[in-house]
Amino acid sequence: MPTSTTRSVVEHRWGGECAVEFRPFPVGDLRAVLVGDEIAVGHHLQAQVLVGMGDRHREAWGQVWVLSLTETVSWGILYYAFVALLIPMRNDLGWSEGRLTTAYSLGILISGLAAPIVGMVIDRRSARILMPLGSIGATGLVFAWARVETFPVYVLIWVGIGVTMSWTLYEPAFATITRWFAHDRTRPLLVVTICAGFASTIFLPLTTWLTSRYGWRQTLDIYAVTLLLMTALPHVFLLRRPPPLPRANPERRESHPDGMSLRDATRRPAFWQITGAFGIQAFASTAVAAFLIAYLVERGDSPGFAATATGAIGAAQVLARVLMTLFGKRWSPVTLAAIMLGMQALAVGVLVLWTTRPGVVLAVLLLGAGRGALTLLRPMILLDRFGLRAFASISGTQSAVISICGALAPVAMGLAYGVVDSYRPLMIVMGALGLVAALTLVHEPALAAHDPR
């Protein structure tokens, strides 16, 4: 038995590593001090403590795989399936594409506006209750969508779906993962975003096939059952409450060792600078993606090629997330995000200046790579700058601003096209906005180093 204080580095109980300090006591036992909590153990029980940490690590990764499944299905049905259902609904219901899309856009906007409140709930209670309720609600709403006959009811359904999206998509999933993994959060975030990145690849052709075989209403009935079995039940029975945040260490005089409150974060120029950069990016990238097919057709490409090229953005997003994780440790998340924002501007420049099909392919790869990496980088930047204490609230507040910017983009682009009657100058403006976003993010004074831990 040791006669003096000893320290060793062991695996953290929910991922990563941490220092454990063992002190001798007169009774011959050892006391382990771990993450600010004292755990009394006998010297013969040391191995059992380490085994318990390994169990928690496996439990944390179990949560990652649960969320990977539920996020893929939720994104595929609640977000992407609408695109494949639009024409069949128009033909059956007799409503214009504009009316149908307006309700869908309203749902996405509601999802973003609800994010701050959802974040506050998650910070105080975790997503253990919210995500099951959201997936159960989504199941019922999709079932109601399959039976819709009047436009006001259709709008109300999408308002409800927007609320359930805020309870089930990336924001609560990211908040859950960051609580389970005190260190090395990049890998679990990557796993979830890679799996969910294939949602459009899976559900767009699947929805098209199901609709052609069974009709859009029965397709939605199938999807309601899918949501119940593959999101609601896993959320209810497999999702666990994450470990509590580490407590303050009086010896280090830490008041909030795990980060800032929402109020403190929103008082910092860094928060608004980061939010502004991502908001500008959301406006520009949404506008480009929404009108890319129209732009390519306007300049002479076939509709089939334009649709295929636009669809390839999703595959490029997944590839970018993998490459960023493999090679991204050389730069900070802020630097990487600035590079990705600049890449978005470069992509639009290639799209405008290189008018052959190879130029389109290169532009699509750059657009997808930037969008895919930024999805993963945003939570990493927020954690790095503001810590874990109010991560869900801070991320939700930022998400609301970003959602508003994204929702305004198609409207502004459409109005501007009515004035200039050409997509090319509008694409040039979107490229310039991407460059502005990149320059906004790298401005050093507001992003002075802050380590909440």
Whether the CB-CB separation of 66 and 234 falls below 8 Å is answered with: yes
The tokens for 275 are: 């939010």
> 103 versus 9: which is more confidently predicted?
103
* Statement: residue 172 has pLDDT above 50: yes
Q: For the segment 262-275, what is each residue's pLDDT rounded down to a tens digit?
A: 888 888 888 999 99
The lowest-confidence range among 2-11, 126-135, 259-268, 420-429 is: 2-11
Report residue 444 CA to chain centroid gap: 26
Whether the CB-CB separation of 64 and 198 falls below 8 Å is answered with: no
Report residue 46 CA to chain centroid gap: 39
User: DSSP letter string over 367-426?
Assistant: HHHHHHHHHHHHHHHHHHHHBSTTHHHHHHHHHHHHHHHHHHHHHHHHHHHHHH--SHHH
pTM over cut 0.75: no
Alpha-carbon distance 196 to 127, whole Å? 18
Q: For the segment 20-55, what is each residue's pLDDT rounded down to a tens digit?
A: 444 444 444 433 333 333 334 444 444 444 445 567
Alpha-carbon distance 86 to 439, whole Å? 38
Of 363, 317, 327, nearest in space to 343 by CA: 363
Alpha-carbon distance 127 to 115, whole Å? 13
Number of H helices, E strands in the chain: 17, 4
The lowest-confidence range among 186-190, 237-241, 257-261, 430-434 is: 257-261
Alpha-carbon distance 360 to 348, whole Å? 10
pLDDT at 222 (0 to 100): 97
The one-letter amino acid code at 408 reads L
pLDDT at 305 (0 to 100): 76
**Mind listing the domains of the chain with CATH numbers?**
6-51 (no CATH), 56-237 (1.20.1250.20), 260-447 (1.20.1250.20)
Whether the CB-CB separation of 290 and 413 falls below 8 Å is answered with: yes
